[in-house]
Amino acid sequence: MFKGLKNILAPGSTATGKGKYFEIKAMAFLKKNGLKDFLMNYRCRWGEIDLVAYEGEVLVFIEVRYRAHNSHGNAAATVNFRKQDKIRRSAQHFLQKNGLTNRIPCRFDVLGITGRKGQLEFHWIRGAF
């Protein structure tokens, strides 16, 4: 396992307080569902990855999306091709930087969160793209 993953916020993170709140809620949900060794807000020149974690031996790159309600579509559905490309490039950078390219299985997940504080619904799409 890669030892460098820690439960930290990236220095200089520009995420809003609301975004951080839902990323922390997402992390708690994912921990309850077996993921571990979290890294939050990995940034590079290509973009940002909200969460990086392990599920067993698989390294998972997770995009977290929040919407108060689904009237304009599911939160997870907002991860368009352009965003997927940024996440892929950022993940490639992460793997190269940490010497993990072609050494570990990887997956891209999307976690959509809908609702208000105290009544959140989670829609986890494993292998979303």
How many structural domains is the chain composed of?
A: 1
- Is residue 124 included in any domain, yes or no? no
Amino acid at the residue 111: L
At 48, which CATH number? 3.40.1350.10
Give first-to-last CA distance, the chain, whole Å.
Answer: 23
Is the alpha carbon torsion for 81, 109, 88, 83 positive or negative?
Answer: positive
Kindly report, residue by residue over 75-116, the tens digit of the pLDDT: 888 899 999 999 999 999 999 999 999 999 999 999 999 998
Distance CA 121, CA 26 (A): 10
pTM of the model: 0.83
Residue 6 has pLDDT above 50, yes or no: no
Domain range for 92: 17-105
Cα-atom radius of gyration of the chain, to the nearest Å?
14
Number of helices (H) and strands (E) in the chain: give both, helices first.
Answer: 2, 5
Residue 3 has pLDDT above 70, yes or no: no
Residue 15 has pLDDT above 50, yes or no: no
Q: Per-residue confidence at 74, pLDDT binned at 50, 70, 90?
A: confident
